Each structure stands twice: as structure tokens, then as C-alpha cells.
Amino acid sequence: MRIAVTGQSGQVVLSMLERAPEGVSVIALGRPQLDLERLETIAPAVATSRPDVIVNAAAFTAVDLAESQQEAAQLANGTAAGEVAKAAATLGIPVIQISTDYVFNGSLGRPYREDDPVAPISAYGRSKLDGERAVAAATPDHAILRTAWIYSPFGKNFVRTMLRLAESRDEIGVVADQAGCPTNALDIADAIFAVARNLAERPDDAALRGVFHMGAQGQAVWADVAEAIFAERQALGGTPVVVKRIATSDYPTPARRPANSRLDSSRLAEIHGVELPEWQGALAACVRRLLTSEQTG
């Protein structure tokens, strides 16, 4: 199976390249051959890669910057997503769209299900919701996978930021009133491969299409995640770091974050047979990998 994935340096793309199962080829499509800011490049790049499935993982992911660059976010996350889906439709193949918890406003008192009302509170969230709608309008042969709180051994993310700050601080303030499902991009990659195979092998199964939530099992607030990172670091010989639990209002950002980013992923397990691991073990493995590679690198 050949899977084309948009982007070259994102956490999901790099995780897919690393975790590709035997018999699966991953073709990463990025600049200059595929540029989300140049819509005319999308269809030719997808067609040239001759994929069986296309995954749209490229996006404008700078949440705060999107507030001041709304047109750029809308182009990459909304309009371009639709063009990727149109290219898939032209080739007669399924498209997997990676989306986000930011399509919700975060006010619900339980984990979000796929049929809960969407109401984004940031420019980034609005652009990603527009992308979902553009994909759905372009082709019925789609799976939209909403995930949240992504981290990995690659790129910029919360885990790597905490480990960097721990090198020079013994106390770090971390938000404790936002809840979510910390999700390792390597586990996301494994899930994408399973969903892609289902879509490719069962082209007439409408139940496999639509919107699915894809988060790690369990839930946490950011301060919990930080404490788990520092505990693993200390177990490997690092100095102790104290987490000071703070409120969102103590750490203002240009973009509002949902207070509740918890996703109910039971539908993905029921229909696709895909269930991500618990967040604690996946996080500990990521921290160990990062710290071990630093020591050996």
C-alpha cells in the first residue's frame, strides 16, 4: 500500500515515516512540490505520488500566530484541505484528514463525542473546522480524525519544551485548569495506518467514513503531564523540578484554549478496531527516548 502524506517535517509525518509497517510505503509531500499556499501544486503532487490513500497532515499549527495571520491559517487549514480531498476524489481514493479538539469550545462537562456541537473559540479552531467541512464536501470517501495535545520525539511540543526548561529551572508554572488527552504522534501514526488499511480494503463500507476522535486513553491537565515528565526525568538521574499549578488566566495567550479538550475515542475503537494506549506509558517512553538520545548523541 502506498500512502501519500502532506507535509515533511511535522510530528505526524515524521512519526508515519518511522512507524510504517512492512509492505506500506509512505510518500511525504512538501515544498516545493506540494505547497499549501499554492493551491495549484496540490493535485499534481498527489497524482504523481500514485497513492492508495492520502493523509492530510500538513497544517498551519501555530495556534497563537493564527490570531494575527488568519488568512494564512484559513488558506492552509481550510481551503487547501479541501483541495487535497478534491485530488483524492479525482483519483478515486480515500482521504484521511487530521483535525483537532480546537473545533470545540471546551465548555462541556464530559469528553467530547463526534456528534457534539462544534463551536471553535480561536482562529486556528475555525480554520480547522472549515477544513473538515471542505473535506466532507469534496468527497464522501473520507475519515476525519480529531486528535489533541500531540507530542513526540520530533519538532516543537510540550514535552520537549518542559525538558528544555528543566535544564535551567527548579520550579516551573504549568496550567492546571485545562484538561485533555496527551497523545503521542507515534501512536497517532499507528492508528492512521490501521484506518488507512480499513478504508482501502473496504471501499464500500460507509461506516468507516466520517468523523472519529483519536486520543490516548485517560485524561490529565497540563500540570499532570509536566509532573509525569519531570518524574521520568528524575528517575533517569535528572534534578528535581517542582510544578507550580497555575490558572489559564495566569498565562495569557493571544488565542483562547478550550478548558476541556478531552475526546471520547470509543467510536474509533468500535468501528475501526483502533485504540490508542494510555497516555502515561506513551509519555514515559517518549521522555526516555529523548533523554537517552541526548546522552548518546
CATH code for residues 2-156+183-217+262-276: 3.40.50.720
- As a whole number, mean pLDDT of residues 270-276 equals 98
pLDDT, tens digit, 9 for 90 and up, residues 56-110: 999 999 999 999 999 999 999 999 999 999 999 999 999 999 999 999 999 999 9
pLDDT, tens digit, 9 for 90 and up, residues 95-136: 999 999 999 999 999 999 999 999 999 999 999 999 999 999
Q: Using the predicted structure, report yes or no on whether residue 29 has a pLDDT greater than 80.
A: yes
pLDDT of amino acid 142: 98
pTM higher than 0.85: yes
DSSP string, 45-70: HHHHT--SEEEE------TTGGGT-H
Q: Residue 26 burial by CB count (10 A; 0-12/13-18/19+): exposed, middle or buried?
A: buried
- Active site residue ranges: 124
pLDDT, tens digit, 9 for 90 and up, residues 137-154: 999 999 999 999 999 999
- As a whole number, mean pLDDT of residues 200-219 equals 97
Confidence of residue 293 (pLDDT cuts 50, 70, 90): confident
Which of these, 21, 23, 25, lies nearest to 55 by C-alpha position? 25
Q: Using the predicted structure, report yes or no on whether residue 294 has a pLDDT greater than 70.
A: no
Domain boundaries defined on the chain: 2-156+183-217+262-276
In this structure, are residues 43 and 90 in contact, taking their beta carbons and an 8 Å threshold? yes
Confidence of residue 297 (pLDDT cuts 50, 70, 90): very low
